[in-house]
Amino acid sequence: MSNPSLQRRFILEKNVFPDLPLLMLITLDALRALGGSASIQELVDHIIEAENISEKEQAYLMPNGRDHRLNYYLGWARTFLKRGGAAENSVRGVWSLTETGEHMTSIRDTQTIHATVNEEERLRAKAKRDAAKSSPADELRKPDAVNLTPLPEDGAESDWQYLLLAELTKMSAAAFERLAQRLLREAGFVKVEVRGKTGDGGLDGVGILRVNLVSFRVYFQCKRWSGSVGAKEIRDFRGALQGRADKGLFITTSSFTKQASDEATRDGAIAIDLIDGMRLCELLKAYELGVKTETVERVTILSQWLSDI
């Protein structure tokens, strides 16, 4: 639980550009607190708790209606730290402090990185405009007004996932439940039934998961939402599970707040597994449900090899 007495260090409002150097410092502090390395989700969860970020604030979206404001700007904070040599990330999405980052404890340090990276981008944009002989009126906007876009190096979601989620949100509730049923069957569940139309306490379906010699009765719920799923929805779902299931599975096209994730794994209560929109996309891709993956052949000419033969 977060401490209500903690003083918030930054403002997260719908129409206010956050203090990016401060978010960078908060990210460095989080990495230190987590032992020098952490996954993106661990970083976000730690910052949410340390900064007392409410579920309402976690649900704020960017103008594009798909990126969560908090995750978006924290992603850019990590990107700036990487560009400034203060942090690095592995191909598995684990972020860690560098030797430089370990000694950065002041807002002045991150302000320096912020200014340096923005100047690099300004010069790069100017060189690109000069090369294209663009109009003199095409001036670069101020750094804080730049329309930041998540970079691939931060593990940002690709366009196919956003396109898939857009298709999923257009499905009817019944169709989405059938898709969940098919996904569970492909994943090894048996006796999967959809019960969304029975008024069965808000439960959309049930299936049996067999693991070696034991079986678990799992009820699932599906939500085609755009906003974040909060702790209340998890509590309501668990209430419907009482006396019926060994485990619960909550599937959504959106995301879960940290409070929802904490509630899902609360001690002494029925465990509920969570599948958010991004994980759902990956599962549909893995089981080839509505997603087709193609391998493109790339041919490279080895000029040096040919000249040396």
> 3-class secondary structure for the chain?
CCCCCCCCCCCCCCCCCCCHHHHHHHHHHHHHHCCCEEEHHHHHHHHHHHCCCCHHHHCCECCCCCCEHHHHHHHHHHHHHHHCCCEEECCCCEEEECHHHHCCCCHHHHHHHHHHHHHHHHHHHHHHHHHHCCCCCCCCCCHHHCCCCCCHHHCCCCHHHHHHHHHHHHCCHHHHHHHHHHHHHHCCEEEEEECCCCCCCCCCEEEEEEECCEEEEEEEEEECCCCCECHHHHHHHHHHHCCCCCEEEEEECCCECHHHHHHHCCCCCCCEEEECHHHHHHHHHHCCCCCCCCCCCCCCCCHHHHHHC
Q: What is the pLDDT of residues 106-131, one digit of tens each?
A: 999 999 999 999 998 888 888 888 77
β-strands 189-194, 214-223 pairing = unpaired
Mark whether 114 and 7 lie in a shared domain. yes
Q: What is the CATH number of the domain that holds 259?
A: 3.40.1350.10
Mark whether 131 and 26 lie in a shared domain. yes
Mark whether 125 and 196 lie in a shared domain. no
- For residue 293, being part of any structural domain is answered with no
Q: Which domain holds residue 108?
A: 1-156
pLDDT at 204 over 60: yes
Q: List residues bridging with 95 in a β-sheet.
A: 38, 89
Mark whether 265 and 207 lie in a shared domain. yes
pLDDT for the residue 284: 94
Mark whether 204 and 265 lie in a shared domain. yes
Q: What is the pTM of this model?
A: 0.70
- For residue 294, being part of any structural domain is answered with no
pLDDT for the residue 282: 94
Higher pLDDT, 168 or 16: 168
Residues of the chain above pLDDT 90, percent: 56
pLDDT for the residue 63: 85
β-strands 247-252, 272-275 pairing = parallel
d(CA 194, CA 206): 7
Mark whether 11 and 122 lie in a shared domain. yes
Q: What is the pLDDT of residues 128-148, one digit of tens each?
A: 887 776 554 444 344 443 445
Q: What is the pLDDT of residues 79-103, one digit of tens each?
A: 999 999 999 998 778 899 999 999 9
Last residue of a domain, one of 156, 173, 201: 156
Structural domains in the chain (count)? 2
Residue with tokens 């550009």: 17
Asked whether the beta carbons of 24 and 77 are under 8 A apart, the reply is: yes
Q: What is the CATH number of the domain that holds 67?
A: 1.10.10
pLDDT category at 2 given cuts 50, 70, 90 is very low
Mark whether 104 and 23 lie in a shared domain. yes
pLDDT category at 157 given cuts 50, 70, 90 is very low
- For residue 300, being part of any structural domain is answered with no
pLDDT category at 278 given cuts 50, 70, 90 is very high
Q: What is the pLDDT of residues 7-61, one digit of tens each?
A: 567 777 766 788 899 999 999 999 999 999 999 999 999 999 999 999 988 988 8
